[in-house]
Amino acid sequence: MVGLPSAPAPSPFTSQGEQFKLVDDWMKVEDFALLQAWLQQHPFTPVRSELDGLCVAQRDDTAFAGSYRRETRNWDLASPPPFRGTGFFAERERLDPRYRNTSSHPKGSSGRAAHRNYPTGTPVDLFFDALARLLDDPWFATPWSRVGALPYVYPRGTRLKWHTDSSDESTAAFDETTISYVFFWNDEWRSTYGGELLISHQPWLSRLGGSWSARPETEALRKTGGQGVFLAPFPNRLIVLRGVYPHSTTLIHPSAGEWSRCSIAGFFR
């Protein structure tokens, strides 16, 4: 008797579009609680300037330092700075058994502190474990070798400017296959608080590199398209993005009071 082909596994994502995929209640309740409690005791410092980012980055890790150079130009200097915690990283071969012993970055060669590499022995490992369970999705079939996890806290009055995740300003390199993500670990979020993630319907496919928000084409692109989606920062929500789509966050409204928009963000590169 010929066996029937097995049905494909159901997608873990609860909503998706051309620009993003989303899953609510992503982490197990008990794992989310452990991660959230740990992050609430985690040290955070203001993102003040490009120099701030370089001081935190490992000096011998060009790609990591470059990502900080890019990120620090995305903050609105007219607004208070958000806060950033220590970054953590996972090699692809550690998360995905199919890629074990195939990495071109042997363990310990990346220049990062060992305690920040997965497994870390902290609740951050629960976060990376949850990411590993998504890797069968076709979006993650791109040639990435590691994924980072940077915790952020956005208090009232902060926002993130329009930008893309596909350009590296330190090298002018452009990679339209870049996949990024944001995960929200705040306790609750009301519609009056602001802080929504805005994503343009129109991708930015320029290979010129550099900052999308600093280019004159930015305004022309918005006027040409002028459409997109918004996604609220609900607790335990994960959003995966195609890096070529410009995105930003709206201002955290004063009505948020002591509540902050808390996230973990990273790139598959």
Instruction: Give the residue among 58, 25, 218 at the shortest CA–CA distance from 130.
Output: 25
Task: Provide the token pair at 158.
Answer: 């902060």
pLDDT given at position 257: 95
pLDDT given at position 177: 84
pLDDT given at position 222: 58
pLDDT given at position 43: 95
Q: CA-based Rg of the chain, rounded to a whole angstrom?
A: 18
Is omega for the bond preceding 119 within 30 degrees of 0, making it cis?
Answer: yes
The one-letter amino acid code at 186 reads: N
Distance from C-alpha of 220 to C-alpha of 235, rounded to nearest angstrom: 34
Q: What is the length of the chain?
A: 269
Q: What is the pLDDT along the chain (269 residues), one digit of tens a residue?
A: 455 555 556 788 999 999 999 999 999 999 999 999 999 999 999 986 443 433 333 333 333 334 434 444 566 666 788 999 999 999 999 999 888 765 444 444 444 566 699 999 999 999 999 999 999 999 999 899 999 999 999 999 999 988 888 765 444 456 778 999 999 999 999 999 999 999 988 887 654 444 555 555 556 555 546 788 999 999 999 999 999 888 899 999 999 999 999 999 999 98
Contacts 24+ apart (CB under 8 A), 128-132: 128/88, 128/90, 128/95, 129/31, 130/26, 130/27, 130/28, 130/31, 130/238, 131/90, 131/95, 132/95, 132/96
CA angle 106, 242, 226 (to 5 degrees): 155
The one-letter amino acid code at 204 reads: W
CA angle 69, 105, 42 (to 5 degrees): 50
The count of other CB atoms within 10 Å of the CB of residue 63 is: 19
Task: Provide the token pair at 258.
Answer: 């002591």
The one-letter amino acid code at 31 reads: D
Distance from C-alpha of 186 to C-alpha of 236, rounded to nearest angstrom: 8
pLDDT given at position 97: 85
pLDDT given at position 164: 83
Q: What is the pTM assigned to this prediction?
A: 0.81
pLDDT given at position 195: 97
pLDDT given at position 196: 98
- C-beta separation of 195 from 160 below 8 A: no
Fold of 15-268: Jelly Rolls (2.60.120)
- Contact partners, residue 238, CB within 8 Å, separation at least 6: 22, 23, 26, 130, 181, 182, 183
Query: What phi and psi values does residue 167 have, to the nearest 5 degrees?
Result: -115, 140
